[in-house]
Amino acid sequence: MNRKIVLPAFLLCLTLVLCSCDDKSQESAKPTAPRPSAAADSAPPNFPPDSGPPPSIDAERTMQSIKDVVKFGARPIGSANHAKLEKYILDHLQGDDVESDSFIADTPAGKLPVRNIIAKYPGTKDGIIVIAGHYDTNYPLRDTAYVGANDGGSTTAILLEFARQLRGKKRDGYSVWLVWTDAEEAIDHWTATDSVYGTRHLAQKWQADGTAKKIKAFILEDMIGDADLDVVKDGNSTPWLEQALYEAATRLADQSHFFTYSNTISDDHVPFRDIGVPVVDIIDIDYGYQNVFHHSPQDTVDKLSTNSLQIIGSTTLEMVRMLDQMEPLPPK
């Protein structure tokens, strides 16, 4: 069922005023104009031929990882549960090339520890594809029953599944770095300075040390487990990377779950976009009827599906395979 609701202009404006709560979307109501096709933006890049078996992940195993994660309860930065989750992630990355980007963030709640976790899987080509997703949960809901199964849990788990897919295999392509980003959530209220603490710090660090110049694509995953999967076309993403994402989904016959609506999303990809890195945000920002499950105790495992996890996991890996084979990549 199409759940998009067309609002008169004055009601939409009123909604935006009344709903200016902590939200990654820069528009708090879903825009009403559906996206006609991925090819309508501009001439598509020179994609490689569709060949070879389609990639896949173990979606059941990924769902079990989500269940493991939510058992910790709320996982905001600075909490004991957050520390337990850090250990859980690192325990599942034993033997991999892992480093941390740790620092103390100045927040409305004072100084809080932040730790981005980075796992590196080398390839034969010169360059890096980053796949990222946040593992912290909403800070204002830290003392509630909130567990963030989708918002925080799903991305934590799918990155662990990507690590399983990459581990021990020779990559005939770019190196892939998986980044569990921290402190994505606002401490008080979502603003440019009270949000995405982890990626703001990491983007500055990688710009300073030259790593950013090597990044061919920054692929962000966020809120990707929704059983009613509907990935937004994001105005803050790089157009040619969104075209690559849609092409990957089309090759897997999953394009109906992508780009039926547009929005402009403020998320962990924006700091990298701002330093010139090509970025794409794979996010279903409409979680439940009129987004009722987002940032609420209703964000629980029963709202998710293995089918959605499989679609996102397979599409991401197909997109990576396409990027590995594209010569040359479009300019940044």
Question: In which band, very low, low, confident or very high, does the pLDDT at 22 lie, cut at 50, 70 and 90?
Answer: low
Tokens of 280: 């794409």
Q: Point out which residues pair with 99 in neighbouring strands.
A: 118
CA 173-162-22 angle, to 5 degrees, is 115
**Residue 279 to residue 319: CA distance in whole angstroms:** 13
Pick the closest to residue 117 from 65, 37, 182 (CA basis). Answer: 182
**Residue 144 to residue 74: CA distance in whole angstroms:** 8
Q: At 193, is the secondary structure helix, strand, or coil?
A: coil
Higher pLDDT, 149 or 28: 149
- The CATH T-level fold of domain 9-325 is Aminopeptidase (3.40.630)
Owner of token pair 């559906």: 34
**Residue 69 to residue 180: CA distance in whole angstroms:** 14
**Residue 286 to residue 294: CA distance in whole angstroms:** 8
- Mean pLDDT on 225-252: 98
The residues, any chain, with a CB within 8 Å of residue 267's CB and separated by 6 or more, are 24, 184, 196, 220, 222, 236, 281, 283
- Give residue 152's pLDDT: 98
Residues of the chain with pLDDT > 90: what percent?
85
Question: In which band, very low, low, confident or very high, does the pLDDT at 331 lie, cut at 50, 70 and 90?
Answer: confident
Question: In which band, very low, low, confident or very high, does the pLDDT at 51 lie, cut at 50, 70 and 90?
Answer: confident
Does 259 have pLDDT greater than 60? Answer: yes
Owner of token pair 């694509």: 217
How many Cβ atoms from other residues are within 10 Å of residue 170's Cβ? 9
- What does pLDDT average to over the chain? 90
Does 11 have pLDDT greater than 80? Answer: no
Provide the residue ranges of all domains of the chain, joining segments of one domain with +: 9-325
| Residue 190 DSSP class | -
- Give residue 43's pLDDT: 65
Judge whether 321 and 55 are in contact, CB under 8 Å.
yes
Higher pLDDT, 243 or 3: 243
- Give residue 39's pLDDT: 41
Does 14 have pLDDT greater than 90? Answer: no
Residues of the chain with pLDDT > 70: what percent?
87
- Give residue 24's pLDDT: 76
Owner of token pair 């990935």: 231
The structure's pTM equals 0.90
**Residue 303 to residue 33: CA distance in whole angstroms:** 26
Locate all alpha helices (DSSP H) within 167-279, ordered by sequence: 197-209, 239-251, 270-273
Q: Point out which residues pair with 207 in neighbouring strands.
A: none
